[in-house]
Amino acid sequence: MNEVVYMLQHGTTDSANEDKLRNFVEFRTMDELESMPSPRLLLTHLKYDDMPKDVFTKGCKMFYMYRNPKDVAVSYLYHMEAFNYAYCFNGGWTEYFDMMLNGPHEYGRWIDSVPDWLEKISGNPNILVISYEDLKKEFIDTAKKLSAHIGKTYNEEFYEKLAETCSIDTMKKNDKLDFAKLITGKPAIRKGQVGDWKNYFTVAQNEQFNTIYDPIIDKLKCRVQFE
């Protein structure tokens, strides 16, 4: 997503060749953020209530991307493994599943963050909500929505090249984009597939997960796609 928005913002299909870690507001001081040239491309995993309120009141253009919680769970396990020096987690999927479902999280559980974001930003014309699954399945159509939101328009050739440049296979070949690989040697850019959770969740785990998550997901106005 970082690569996609950067290219749409600058009208290029050439990579920025920079990892996205430098764009996270929670990892930067105010002086560092203010020194970035405008318009700034910033990222965050913060909960809605932890965000600076100015971003919602001063007309900032924002994209809110959400992904189905089962694929998020699998992805985060590999994130923890890539940064094991920081997380010190040496368990496998079974141990991780119990912790993911009930234990403490760096940014809170999916159900503690995503539904709250979606509810509180509903109707805000400055915030475009998209799903990771839509970006994967309908890349060009979704990219057009993203570019329109920031007042940009491009031809079909541009969007086709954008789809190629921002594919997982292409990005995996560019080590400069993978901040985990740069730091630990273990890649953070992995599969990016929709539905990969099926290769990890047991039947019992899936039922346990659904018991907790389904009542909340069923109330959302946005569609959550698991495959």
DSSP annotation of 186: S
- Kindly tell me the number of DSSP H helices and DSSP E strands found in the chain: 13, 2
Catalytic choice (45, 79, 105, 149): 45
Is 45 catalytic? The answer is yes
State the DSSP string of 37-97.
PSSP--B----GGGS-THHHHS---EEEEE--HHHHHHHHHHHHHHTHHHH-----HHHHH
**Catalytic residues, which ones?**
45
